[in-house]
Structure formats: structure tokens, C-alpha cells
């Protein structure tokens, strides 16, 4: 991936609905080479897809919670079971395997505190094999971007 590919990706991260002509103009390429580069980035998996960025409050899920989870055991079967169950939970937008005191960090969105309690009691606890759950509620967001920094 070269600098021109990165410029194209940044342009698409800013506006995934931009036309090829708009992107080509922004990155100073003619349309045909720009479209060819976009297709190559898509085919290589560097561009994994396109999606709408939605206001979660307007959608009805205003509460964001970061949840740190530590497993009781770290055997392959326990880990595979936990990860497969987490992948099936719609409320979990992200799940990261971590270093430090927690094994996983989840980003979860819910409608409110009652929905969060229900999520923990009826979706997380039944997974089993969890040693601890530590939650932090977001009460404000300082920065939220999907645009990668420049490399180099």
C-alpha cells in the first residue's frame, strides 16, 4: 500500500458515499486509475466494507458501556466458548483480547440501566467461566473518528 492508496482510504473514511470522481479529484488522480486502486484495495481486503455511521441516541441506544471481563480459566475450549457466545450478542459492538488484568474489553450499547442489567444477568452471566466483570459507563465522548492517521 502506498501513500496514494492511503489518501484514497482516508477520503473514503471521511465520506464513504463519495463518488469516484470526487475521490479522484481529492487525491489528485484521474478517475480510471482511482477506481482501479479502489477495486484493488477492496479485492485485497484492505477495504473491508462500507457502512453508515449512525447516532446511537437517535437510534434508541444512548448508553455506552466498556466492560472488562476476566475468565476463570484460559484453556482453548473455555476461550472458544466465550468468544463464540460474545460474537452472537448484538449489544456487543466490539470485543478485544487484552493484556493486563482483564482478558477482554467489550464496547456495549444499550437503551438504559435496566437494559444493561438485563444484558449482564441474562446474556453475559449464562456464558459461564467468567471470573470478573468490571463496567465503566460513558457519560461523554471527546473524540470519535473512523479516520486513520497518516503513516510516515
Enumerate the CATH 3.30.70.920 domain ranges in the chain, comma separated.
56-137
pLDDT at 112: 97
pLDDT at 7: 96
The Cβ-side half-sphere exposure at 123, using a 13 Å CA radius, reads 17
Q: How many CB atoms lie within 10 A of CB 56?
A: 14
Q: How many CB atoms lie within 10 A of CB 116?
A: 19
- Number of residues written out for the chain: 152
pLDDT at 73: 94
- Residues 66, 107 contacting (CB under 8 angstroms): yes
Enumerate the CATH 1.10.10.10 domain ranges in the chain, comma separated.
3-44
Instruction: Find out if CATH 3.50.30.60 is the number for domain 3-44.
Output: no
Class (C level, CATH) for 56-137? alpha beta
Instruction: Using alpha carbons only, give the angle 66, 96, 110 rounded to the nearest 5 degrees.
Output: 35
HEC sequence for 83-117: HHHHHCCCCEEEEEECCCCCCEEEEEEECCHHHHH
Pairing of strands 104-110, 130-137: unpaired
Mean pLDDT by runs of 10 across the 152 residues of the chain is: 95 95 97 98 97 95 98 96 98 97 98 98 97 98 92 78
Amino acid at each position: 500500500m502506498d501513500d496514494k492508496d492511503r489518501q484514497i482510504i482516508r477520503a473514503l473514511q471521511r465520506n464513504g458515499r463519495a463518488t469516484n470522481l470526487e475521490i479522484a479529484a481529492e487525491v489528485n488522480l484521474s478517475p480510471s486509475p482511482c477506481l482501479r486502486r479502489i477495486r484493488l484495495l477492496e479485492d485485497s481486503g484492505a477495504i473491508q466494507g462500507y457502512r453508515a455511521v449512525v447516532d446511537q441516541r437517535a437510534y434508541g441506544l444512548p448508553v455506552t458501556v466498556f466492560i472488562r471481563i476476566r475468565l476463570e480459566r484460559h484453556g482453548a475450549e473455555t476461550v472458544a466458548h466465550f468468544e463464540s457466545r460474545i460474537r452472537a450478542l448484538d449489544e456487543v459492538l466490539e470485543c478485544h483480547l487484552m493484556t493486563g488484568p482483564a482478558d477482554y474489553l467489550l464496547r456495549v450499547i444499550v437503551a438504559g440501566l435496566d437494559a444493561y442489567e438485563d444484558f449482564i444477568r441474562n446474556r453475559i452471566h449464562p456464558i459461564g467461566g467468567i471470573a470478573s466483570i468490571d463496567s465503566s459507563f460513558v457519560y461523554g465522548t471527546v473524540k470519535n473518528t473512523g479516520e486513520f492517521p497518516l503513516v510516515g
